[in-house]
Structure 1
């Protein structure tokens, strides 16, 4: 690396964790905690190229109550590549809290340059899988929508997302609808019926009272369900890339057949 003066780099990326610009707190997904973290450091602008040159990369992670991480690697010109992936072992991720991650680069003369720090939030709390389920506003008392449902099901099916217990303002909510038809073994998903809605940032009102959505258009999300059909809906709450909770599965029965009529209702 040249000795033209210290450089300042953007915060490092961590594979599986959202960029610091999207999630300033850097919530680490639960599944990464037992595996460790892979920190991605892009090649710095002026690097070792001549015989006798060497660059030194130091990755640091510090969190209260946890042994500080200091990982040092030296690179000769033959070792240079577009980016370096540095692994932080799981033993450094055992304590809940917010830590600081950054890296330093030293040239042959040990002149330093530094990245900005970024937060990483470690949370070992179990992921809730029993959040209150979605309800279907227009279903009859038996949990069915049919030819006489008002408003007509071909105008869309209204979902009611309940108050989002345990979520926070700014969390993300992902809602998934799946349609099923009858088969000899019970029921089978009809892939083309799948519908998803992502609310990127929950408001205070969303958290306290929930919100409503409409599944549409009719084709392809509802029309393929004809007789002895159903749909399921589940929602998941994310804080950054970390899943913090999911709802119980809600099931809606769907019938578009009338007794004695071989043709299903609907446009």
Structure 2
């Protein structure tokens, strides 16, 4: 699909929902839902029965330089029409970077379209409200040895409903513990992920994610903190991210050397 040695004869490729500019940034709804590409009928489309012509669509990315055939089909004179569509799926557009797409008609000689450059960027800015901690002390913001349920069992994180939630969306919550009270380094744990596929009720009313004590909470003992942030995925594509929610953690009891729940 090297354009330098090609004589460009086919009409430019068009993509539903994407600007005709080159390069063109792919909108987020197209990244999430996929779209259709459109190849214009070539002047040499078969007019005689049993003659054939093949449409091949190539996809290439700078960080994956090998060409990929994402669509190929052979047509006959009975299938003549002004244009021909082919799918461009979320999976085709799953890797961030610059992509190049081109179609080629092939009968006796190749009839290539101009190469189109597409910009793929799934980066999200936080737009959803932060996770909440329904069991923290309302006065001082702590989860401690007096909390119900006990801190040495679990911490409950509440995800409140958002208008974008849909059944079968996947919520990926990231949790990390810190040696400070404000969710800033130094870190006491790596980033842990918790995944949940939403039911219809959860999409409408929100839901709870429980963080077990071991190994996710135990490293935090004395005036530490935990931070949670979640991303919503649809069709494997990230569509929205929350703000970051921080909670203060303390497992020490005045006058005792051992934290509630024990040492690590």
The TM tier, using the shorter chain, reads 0.5 to 0.7
Partner Cα separation in structure 2 for residue 189 and residue 124 of structure 1: 29
1:213 equivalent among 190, 204, 209: 209
For residue 149 of structure 2, what is the aligned residue in structure 1?
A: 151
2:219 equivalent among 210, 217, 224: 224
What secondary structure, in the 3-state scheme, does the structure 2 residue paired with 1:191 have? Answer: coil
For residue 200 of structure 2, what is the aligned residue in structure 1?
A: 204
Structure 1 gap segments, 5+ residues each: 1-58, 69-88, 104-108
Contact 1:164 1:206 in 2 (8 A): no
What secondary structure, in the 3-state scheme, does the structure 2 residue paired with 1:206 have? Answer: helix
Contact 2:133 2:247 in 1 (8 A): yes
> Over residues 103-148 of structure 1, what are the superposed CA-to-partner deviations in whole Å (9 max), with x where a residue is unaligned?
9xxxxx9753763732447999994513122111221112211112
| TM-score scaled by length of structure 2 | 0.56
Deviation at 1:235, TM superposition (A): 0.9
Partner Cα separation in structure 2 for residue 92 and residue 263 of structure 1: 56
Partner Cα separation in structure 1 for residue 226 and residue 234 of structure 2: 27
Partner Cα separation in structure 2 for residue 110 and residue 262 of structure 1: 83
Contact 1:131 1:165 in 2 (8 A): no
Deviation at 1:60, TM superposition (A): 5.9
Deviation at 1:243, TM superposition (A): 2.6
Contact 1:67 1:92 in 2 (8 A): no
For residue 244 of structure 2, what is the aligned residue in structure 1?
A: 249
What secondary structure, in the 3-state scheme, does the structure 2 residue paired with 1:227 have? Answer: coil
> Over residues 136-180 of structure 1, what are the superposed CA-to-partner deviations in whole Å (9 max), with x where a residue is unaligned?
122111221111222211111111111023233332211111111
Structure-to-structure mapping, 1:1-267, within 5 angstroms: 62-63=15-16, 66-67=19-20, 90-91=23-24, 93=26, 99-101=35-37, 112=54, 115=71, 117-120=86-89, 127=124, 129-141=126-138, 142-182=140-180, 187-192=185-190, 194-200=191-197, 202-216=198-212, 218-267=213-262
Partner Cα separation in structure 2 for residue 95 and residue 242 of structure 1: 9
| TM-score scaled by length of structure 1 | 0.55
Provide the alpha-carbon RMSD of the alignment: 3.9
What secondary structure, in the 3-state scheme, does the structure 1 residue paired with 2:204 have? Answer: helix
Using a 3 Å threshold, how does the CA distance of structure 1 residues 204 and 261 change in structure 2: closer, same or farther? same
Contact 1:128 1:244 in 2 (8 A): no
For residue 43 of structure 2, what is the aligned residue in structure 1?
A: none
Q: Which moved more, 1:163-172 or 1:132-141?
A: 163-172
Structure 2 gap segments, 5+ residues each: 1-11, 40-50, 57-70, 73-85, 91-118
